Amino acid sequence: MTAVPLPPLPQGRLPRRVPVRQVLCLLPLLLVAVVAVRHRATLAEGFGQLRTAEWPWLAAAAGATCLTWVAASFTRQGAVVERLPRLRLLATQFAAGAANHLLPTGLGAGAVNLRFMSVCGVPLARSSAALALYLLAECVGRLVLLAALLIAFPGALHLGTLVPQDALLPLGAAVAALAVTAALVLACVRRLRTAARGFLRTALGEARSVHARPARALALWGGSLAFPALQASGLVLVGQALDLPVAPAHIAVAYLAATVAVALVPTPGGLGSVEAALVVALVAAGGPAAVATAVVLAYRILTVWLPLLPGAVTLGALVRLKVI
């Protein structure tokens, strides 16, 4: 018996699979559009304030903002023993700034830098330890700079206006409760306690290795001091551009105090919370409320909104080029 050949099955067109990396390239731009629409009133008012400002001061503030990415690059390099590619590291910090304004504070930049170090061959445990060391150095640098300015200019800020006395006790109680809860969780969950102990051991080893190299230690701590100093300088320069009647040192103190306070609020890039805290801090430093609001809006436009779109484009390009 001869077999009768079956007719070929009709071949339909297979659905084309959309590459995940291509979607990730476009996602930052979509998030920028969403955030811009949500804050369109703030954007319109902020650009209006920029039109009335003195442009030489604004140009200097823009230069200080650009130098913050250089300072962040130095601090990131100082937190890890391996030599990272300089240009890619700088581009990553620019892109991480955009990611940080689109996701809850610290998460965007942390994820971008973890991926970058992983691509550069740094193991995940050590790159996580380097990220923790960077965050610690940045926090210490900001607090040291704030303390030094408060010692040099003790009357720069009226803390009673910035932090009401009746809010100190609830804030302290909340911090203490959080610390006790974390300690209890670590004490009760063995697997979590083991993981935390291992991470702490890796982090301490990474910190010792970094500080055994003077160049790395200098980059780590020099960058962590330069980063908040440049940010505060940007606000001082915008204040000069809009004739804010507050001494430059007092503006710097107000900026550092506000950013330390707002670090506890997990909003994307501090959008909303930073503006409110900066206005309150500048008023506490002696500035008129209307001018302080104009300065803060112009400062945030210059340092957040104008770099946001090119930063998102850079982020997408780095994802497409497999740098991150």
Domain positions in the chain: 20-159+193-320
DSSP annotation string for 92-135: HHHHHHHHHHHSBTTHHHHHHHHHHHHHTT--HHHHHHHHHHHH
% of the chain exceeding 70 in pLDDT: 72
* Paired tokens of 281: 């801090």
Measured CA distances, 134 to 72, 203, 224, 273, 312 (Å): 9, 11, 8, 23, 23
* Least confident interval from 40-44, 49-53, 211-215, 295-299: 40-44
* Paired tokens of 194: 């083991």
Most confident of 27-36, 44-53, 304-313: 304-313
Burial of 86 (0-12, 13-18, 19+ CB in 10 A): exposed
Element (H, E) at 199: helix 190-211
pLDDT score of 6 more than 60 = no
The mean per-residue pLDDT over the stretch 168-172 comes to: 57
Q: Which sign, positive or negative, has the C-alpha torsion 145, 150, 153, 159?
A: positive
Question: Is the CB of residue 294 less than 8 Å from the CB of residue 239?
Answer: no
278 versus 233: the higher-pLDDT residue is 233
Residue 97: per-residue pLDDT: 87
- Give the Cα separation of 75 and 88 in Å (integer): 15
* Paired tokens of 18: 């959309």
DSSP 13: P
Q: What pTM does this model have?
A: 0.80
pLDDT band at 75 (very low <50, low <70, confident <90, very high): very high
Question: Is the CB of residue 146 less than 8 Å from the CB of residue 227?
Answer: no
Backbone angles phi, psi at 257, to 5 degrees: -65, -40
What is the chain's alpha carbon radius of gyration, rounded to the nearest angstrom?
A: 24
- Give the Cα separation of 273 and 266 in Å (integer): 9
Helix (H, G, I), strand (E, B) or coil at 195: helix
pLDDT score of 154 more than 80 = yes
275 versus 63: the higher-pLDDT residue is 63
Most confident of 35-39, 85-89, 151-155, 174-178: 85-89
pLDDT tens, position by position, 180-215:
776 676 667 667 767 777 778 888 888 899 999 999
Backbone angles phi, psi at 104, to 5 degrees: -50, 145
- Give the Cα separation of 233 and 66 in Å (integer): 12
The mean per-residue pLDDT over the stretch 26-54 comes to: 69
CB atoms under 10 Å from CB of 121, counted, come to 9
